[in-house]
Amino acid sequence: METRPYFVLGDFAVNIVAGVVVASISAALFGPGWNMVLAMIVAMALGMLISLPLALLSGALFGAMEVMVPVMTTGMVAGMVVSMSAAMGEIAFGSAAGLGASSGVGVTVATYLANVVIKGRAVRWTS
């Protein structure tokens, strides 16, 4: 597990920013007129797309795949959560940004945990 403060703080900061950006855009684009499932699918794809340039830019500072994979996941999750909320009823930008930031923190923690679990599975490759 990554323990160097520069990278740990960087991982959380980049994912929170990605979550807030995607959530804000999703809140602006989606509303009660949308079918919830359609909104979710469109927002997930859009979230990944929007977060890609953020991942590439911040990757130059904090790492390649270690940044790109969770940031795109955050984009997908933040888009999904906010678009579904917006489809159910109006959502304020502040609330959307909060959901986006929470998505960023959640995905970062989940990625760190997944990393520990998946690393443990490498042993089965050993001949």
Query: Which residues, at least 6 apart from 104, have a Cβ–Cβ distance to it below 8 Å?
Result: 12, 15, 16, 17, 18, 19, 20, 74, 78
Stretch that binds another protein, among 24-32, 82-90, 94-102, 118-126 (CB under 8 A): 118-126
> Does 122 sit near another protein (CB under 8 A)?
yes
**Identity of the residue, 92 or 122, whose beta carbon is nearer to another protein in the bound complex:** 122
State which residue, 2 or 12, has the beta carbon closest to another protein: 2
Cβ atoms 32, 91 nearer than 8 A: no
Could you give the 3-state DSSP secondary structure of residue 33? Answer: coil
- Span 75-94, contacts to another protein by CB under 8 A: 76
Q: Least CB distance from residue 33 to another protein, whole Å?
A: 28
Largest CA distance in the chain: 56
62 binds another protein (CB under 8 A): yes
How far is 98 from 117, CA to CA, in rounded Å? 28
- The nearest distance, CB 14 to another protein, in angstroms, is 10
User: Which CB atom, from 50 or from 67, has the smaller least distance to another protein?
Assistant: 67
